[in-house]
Structure 1
Amino acid sequence: MAGRSLFAGVELGGTKSIAVLAAGRDILERQVVATTTPDATLGALATTLERWTREHPIAGLGIASFGPIQLDAAADDHGHMLATPKPGWSHAPVAPVLTRAFPGPWALDTDVNGAALAEYDWGAGKGCRSLWYLTLGTGVGGGLVVDGRAVHGAMHPEIGHLKLRRAPGDTFAGACPFHGDCVEGLISGPALAGLFEGDPAKVGDDDPRWDHVAHTLAELVGVLLLTTSADRVLIGGGIAIARRQLLPRVRAKVLERLESYLPFVTPSSVDRIIAAPALGADAGPLGAVALAIRAAERTP
């Protein structure tokens, strides 16, 4: 590790959380903890970060968290979770706990914005000007990067709570406690458990209900392409990684729904535009590292 700047990152996920110590994109150490209560989860991650801080000179810390989370540095609750469907996590002090013993620069963003930055820097987004990273897991989220910067506004994108056209014959009520049959309410992990009335991992790819999932995902991708004209949409997360058959179905449905309206989305380009992340399951933790590197670069 001599001569290489070290960075620490935390990917806070809905089911598990990962702390990493890295030199660039090379992960040197990794600590995985279950995401249970805020006190237990954040406390375990903070203990790991404090140990690394004692043992190494760390140039920057990045926190890539599930949301919604307060990203406005001027807000009194900066770094705190906002109202979230995850039980017990609303208003949890994510950044205050994780940065309590870190003396250097740090940055906070959503897990999907972090993953989008990692794919932009090192993965399937290299060479793109703009890209979306979508994650299908405990929740459904999306991060947009344009010219190397994650897009923020009043907060961060919450594309998982869009309500879009339902598939014909899809009568599932949805599982989102806020919006019922929004995208997250239809195709997140808890939603799929409701749709399939059990563990979706035990359901075969030929089950017709997967076509409803592909329809919802294609509706979402089509909306993102129409509204942002992104160069690429990467579909990651545990569900997408486990169900590779979804990606070709989504591509076909996007082509069908757009009906040649977008000249850059064609049968010959759609495989490149709608793709899997190149970094796989490491897109999330490397997203935290990408945030840490940017935090260090912004500090004189």
Structure 2
Amino acid sequence: MDYYGSIEAGGTKFVCAVADETLTIIKRISLPTMSPEETLKQVFDFFDEYELKAMGVGSFGPIDVNRKSNTYGYITSTPKHGWRNVDLLGRLKERYDIPIAWTTDVNAAAYGEMHLGAGKETQSCIYLTVGTGIGGGAVVNGAVLEVFSHPEMGHITVQRYPNDKLESTCPYHDNCLEGLAAGPALEKRTGTKGQSLPSNHEVWEIEAFYLAQALLNYTLVLSPEKIILGGGVMKQQQLFPLIRESLKVQVGGYVSLPPLEEYIVGCDLGDDSGTIGCLLLAKKKEG
């Protein structure tokens, strides 16, 4: 039997999966992200047992997705120790002479959600993960958005919440979304991890303000049919109505939007969004 492979390459863990022709997952493993040599040895040990037709890779970044670039397929300026300027795609191609789809982890998740998750029956959606960091992927007219590079939605500049003096947790930017709204920023504001905070804590209003501001900017630029929110912070369900209400205020009636309960939603595939997206991209690449 022929199989499809998926690698969701994260800074903390690599999730590898193999699926059959129907994209039913046959086996999956989760590996801690160690050095490239240690990690890839385990990746190869896993996939070597299968006759793969194609593979999809969704990687942490930044990565080079520009096919004209000399470093296409590389993980580039990542702060992850040992992984800067690693030719991940090249290493995989050396091992497996098969078509390999290459994109970001969040682009893969967006693709998975659009086809089989919360974005079904659309041709354009944004997937934003809010956790230890913030990252976003987009599908536009059925295709993953990437040309010269890929979206870095977590690092857009945002206006600060009134009287917010928090020192950004992003080492690159003083006023970016990730630095002011990711999990470490929540903890820095309150001294407590987000999952331990009560649902009525005032910090959720601040969080909703920043996320809604970002969603407004994405809406004005890309006008997606749906925005899907995932990641650990978005397991706080009280955030969804707060974000929708803040977005309504910040739009100010300038553009029309779909009903907000249908426009801003959680992910249907949960932790499988990226894996499913990689498998779909693999099958598309093979076809």
In 1, the alpha carbon distance for the partners of 2:218 and 2:147 equals 16
**Aligned-partner Cα distance in 2 for 1:165–1:65:** 29
Kindly indicate whether residue 260 of structure 2 is the aligned counterpart of residue 270 of structure 1.
Answer: yes
Q: Secondary structure at the match of 2:48?
A: helix
Aligned to 1:95: 89
Q: Secondary structure of the equivalent of 1:226?
A: helix
Partner of 1:108: 102
Question: d(CA) in 2 for partners of 1:41 and 1:195?
Answer: 35
For residue 46 of structure 1, the aligned residue among 20, 44, 47 is 44
Q: Which runs of 5+ in 2 are unaligned?
A: none
Partner of 1:21: 18
Alignment partner of 1:66 is 2:60: yes
Give, in whole Å, the separation in 2 of the partners of 1:15 and 1:214.
26
Cα distance, 1:207 vs structure 2: 2.0
Q: Which amino acid aligns with 2:87?
A: P
Structure 1 spans left out of the alignment, 5+ residues = none
Counterpart residue number, 2:125: 131
- CA root-mean-square deviation: 1.8
Distance of 1:102 and 1:176 partners within structure 2: 37
Partner residue, 1:12:
9
Distance, in Å, in 2 between the alignment partners of 1:90 and 1:191 is: 25
Partner of 1:254: 247
* Seq. identity, %: 32
Asked whether the 8 Å contact 1:14–1:138 carries over to 2, the reply is no
SS at match of 2:95: coil
CA distance in 2, matches of 1:205, 1:85: 33
- Rounded to whole Å, the distance in 1 between the matches of 2:80 and 2:174 is 15
Give the alignment's TM-score, normalised by structure 1.
0.89
Contact between 2:194 and 2:233, CA under 8 Å: does it hold in 1? no
Q: Decide whether aligned partners of structure 1 residues 221 and 197 sit closer, same or farther in structure 2, where only a CA change above 3 A counts.
A: same
Aligned residue pairs total: 286
SS at match of 1:62: strand
Mapped pair 1:288 → 2:278 = yes
One of 51, 59, 70 as aligned partner of 1:76? 70
Alpha carbons of 1:43 and 1:185: their partners in 2 closer, same or farther (altered >3 Å)?
farther
Aligned positions of 1:111-122 closer than 5 A: 111-122=105-116
Q: CA deviation at 1:117?
A: 1.0
1:31: which partner in 2?
A: 29
- TM-superposed CA distance for 1:230, in Å, is 0.8
Q: Following the alignment from structure 1 to structure 2, what is the Cα–Cα distance between the partners of residues 93 and 154?
A: 18
Is the Cα contact below 8 Å between 1:14 and 1:35 reproduced in 2? yes
Structure 1 letter corresponding to 2:175: D
Q: Distance in 2 between matches of 1:161 and 1:132?
A: 15
Q: State the match for 2:206 in structure 1.
A: 212
Query: Residue deviations 1:189-219, cap 9 Å, x none?
Result: 3333333334332222222122211111111
Conserved 8 A contact 1:15-1:138: no
Provide runs of 4+ in structure 1 moved above 6 Å. none
124 and 114 in structure 1: CA distance in 2 versus 1, 3 angstrom threshold: same
C-alpha separation between the residues in 2 aligned to 1:41 and 1:193?
30
Per-residue deviation at 1:106? 0.7
Residues 32-69 of structure 1: CA distance to partner in whole angstroms, max 9, x if unpaired? Answer: 012243333333223212233xxxx3211010011110
Deviation at 1:87, TM superposition (A): 3.6
The verdict on how the C-alpha distance between 1:294 and 1:249 changes in structure 2, with shifts beyond 3 A counting, is same
2:44 and 2:174 map into 1 onto residues whose CA distance is: 35
1:106–1:283: structure 2 CA closer, same or farther, 3 Å change rule?
A: same
Q: SS of the counterpart of 1:99?
A: helix
